[in-house]
Structure 1
Amino acid sequence: MAREGVRPSYDPAGPDNALRGALQDLRTGRWMAMRTLLADTAQGWQWTQRTQVLAAAAAGTDVVRAWLTEEPGSVHAAVMHGRVSVERALRAQRERHRRTHELWIEAWDAAQSASRTAPQDPVPWVCLLALAQLDPEQRWEEHRAAAPEPMLPPGPWGLLAEAGKRDPYNREAYHRMLQFLYARGGTGRLAEAAAFAQWATGQAPPGSALHLLPLYVRVERYRREGGHDAALDLHWVAEEAARESRRALESWFAHTRAAERSPLDLNHLAHALWGSLQFLDAARVFEEIGPYFTPPPWVHRTPGRDRAVDVFVQARDRCRAAADGSAPRH
């Protein structure tokens, strides 16, 4: 890979050129490229990932509605309608919009409908799981099912299981479960999230992206503690932090091919290895990242997205220097 100092920037498609083309078409109000892309996408990680990225881009448009109107029998259009509806509800909640509850119910209906239209697809169940974070008080029965492990709290475990039946260890489903646990609020709830992440990694086979979940919880804890504080760097060099990053490297990175790796996961792994002073291993991950920077987790190290790129570049250069033998390893 070229080592020139090109400044990275965020691209939601990452290295997925086919997805990038569909996104460009979508932004001009057209849906044909999206339909073609989804027809050519196999079930699994890529299917879930592509539908999520497309929905984020389509949520502010009527493109999916136009597709569904034109092809009311399209299974993929029904799934994307559920995706877009959920994205809108989550955005409304973040913005404290007065229509949040209305959009939540619409999204729940759309996701339920998609689950019937596409009974073998995990995405409608991932959508329902995503909506659970809008119910932190767990008023809905499906959001307070008993956990499979006594040390874990009640939650939308049935929804997670339904997604798992269709795509075992679905990456997004487990991240949505984490978001539900975060939404319940309180510093103590992070202990539940950490316990969940450890439980999930214990269930996951080699190569599963679930092995990175503890890294995400660590970033969330750092964010809640305020971040941007040199004193908090001990958060990353602690023995447990180093162990988590090493486990993710050995259990996920070492068992996957480039096409199976999310840029967000790669950025979290590089960040964790750099933060725990494992520069040589971090350099390997930075090479895999290439130009595909993602704002999280770097944005939590410094105020402002532009400065997050600076942190990324500084970390990458430090690790490359160590790998090239021009700087000490620790």
Structure 2
Amino acid sequence: MPSDDFRPVYHPAGHDAELRSVVQELRAGRWLAMRNLLEATPSWSAWTRRTQVLAAVAAGTDTVRAWRAEEPHSAAATAMHARVAVERAARAHREDHPQTRVWWHEAWEACRVYAEQAPDDPVPWVGLLALAPLDREQRMPEHRLPPPGPMLFPGPWALLEQVAKRDPDNREAHQRMLQFVYARSPHGALPEAVNYARWAVSSAPLGSPAHVLPLYVRAERYRRERGQDRALDLHWVTDEALRDGRAALHDWFDFADPADSSLLDLSHLAHALWGAHEFAEAARVFRTLDPYYAPVPWTYRIRDDHGDTAQGAVELYLRARSRSLEASGAP
């Protein structure tokens, strides 16, 4: 029986122990550990993931500005300046802040400047992709280019191509494209998102986090329908849902390094397998997640009349984890 004392922990760095330590330093307003970590980061995949996490933490502080003042020629500091500018513009957009357009322009310029300074880095192009949803009416020509295949949509395909030239399997770029789809067509986006996920998976190598994309789209559909109808639980046990979960398990998870994996990807996979009653396989993912946890997509199953959505998501996660570990015979 799984221990009743277990409680999951959320941390944006997940299993990346070095990044967790740097996040703690950053929250205290210190940038030296961030610089050292980024200078030692071994791959574009880790670089993209780490700069994204650090930007989310740094966006509410002046720490990156202080770093750039001390080391104005640091490429890593310039990268983080662009990252933070994008994060702030995106937050302003979500909050409908009156300064959104100003911050959007500043972030766009910061990405362009950094792209010229670091031509091999995918991050400035990922940043430009992250800004694309702010162009709600697709007024910018680069956001309405013809798609590379049938059943796809006009969009920022050249930006995605620039990322792919530098990091062909960039996880965040695919996630940003899904965000663009949802912003582009809020009420009719799900078919376009399904088509994009299928397109991305069709060329993704084994071990690619792109294999998890169909699970994100499936969870988004569930969220939009609010999960209020219990019949919607059948959504997770259809043959197609089961294929999506098993494909993500065998084509991504079986090759994944937990330290380099997104908690969100792991969480979506655990949720999908548990929802499909593939408890033994779900247990493998829950054990990999331990001791960490991501609230999404568990929050999508919590009813609006629940007093505490966050606590409800944790309770549901614990029940799903316990059921899966019991079925697998795990201690």
Q: TM exceeds 0.5?
A: yes
Q: Is the 8 A contact 1:228 1:300 kept in 2?
A: no
Alignment of 1:270-289 (within 5 A): 270-289=270-289
Partner of 1:302: 302
| 1:87 shift after superposition | 0.2
Q: Is the 8 A contact 1:242 1:273 kept in 2?
A: yes
Q: Is the 8 A contact 1:108 1:128 kept in 2?
A: yes
Q: 2:179 and 2:133 mapped to 1: Cα distance?
A: 6
Letter in 1 for 2:136: P
Q: Secondary structure at the match of 1:296?
A: coil
RMSD value, Cα: 1.5
| CA deviation profile, 1:156-179 (whole Å, cap 9, x unmatched) | 000000001000120000100000
Alignment of 1:20-39 (within 5 A): 20-39=20-39
| 1:4 shift after superposition | 6.3
Q: 1:8 and 1:161 mapped to 2: Cα distance?
A: 38
Select the structure with the greater relative contact order (CA < 8 A; seq sep ≥ 6).
2
1:323 aligns with 2:328: yes
1:131 aligns with 2:131: yes
Letter in 2 for 1:159: L
Identify unmatched segments of 5+ residues in structure 2.
Answer: 304-308
Q: For this pair of structures, how many residues does the alignment match?
A: 325
| 1:105 shift after superposition | 0.4
Aligned in 2, Cα 1:259/1:25: closer, same or farther, shift over 3 Å?
closer
Partner of 1:206: 206
Q: 1:231 and 1:302 mapped to 2: Cα distance?
A: 15
Query: Identity percentage over the alignment?
Result: 56
Identify unmatched segments of 5+ residues in structure 1.
Answer: none
Q: What TM-score do the two structures reach when normalised by structure 2? A: 0.95
1:314 aligns with 2:319: yes
Aligned in 2, Cα 1:48/1:4: closer, same or farther, shift over 3 Å?
farther
| 1:117 shift after superposition | 1.3
Q: 2:231 and 2:64 mapped to 1: Cα distance?
A: 47
Q: Is the 8 A contact 1:133 1:179 kept in 2?
A: yes
| 1:189 shift after superposition | 1.5
Q: Secondary structure at the match of 2:297?
A: helix
| CA deviation profile, 1:16-54 (whole Å, cap 9, x unmatched) | 111111111111111101001101101222111100000
| 1:67 shift after superposition | 0.7
1:180 aligns with 2:180: yes
| 1:256 shift after superposition | 2.4
| 1:325 shift after superposition | 8.7
Q: Is the 8 A contact 2:226 2:301 kept in 1?
A: no
Q: Is the 8 A contact 2:144 2:154 kept in 1?
A: yes
Q: Is the 8 A contact 2:44 2:121 kept in 1?
A: no
Q: What TM-score do the two structures reach when normalised by structure 1? A: 0.95
Q: 1:272 and 1:257 mapped to 2: Cα distance?
A: 20
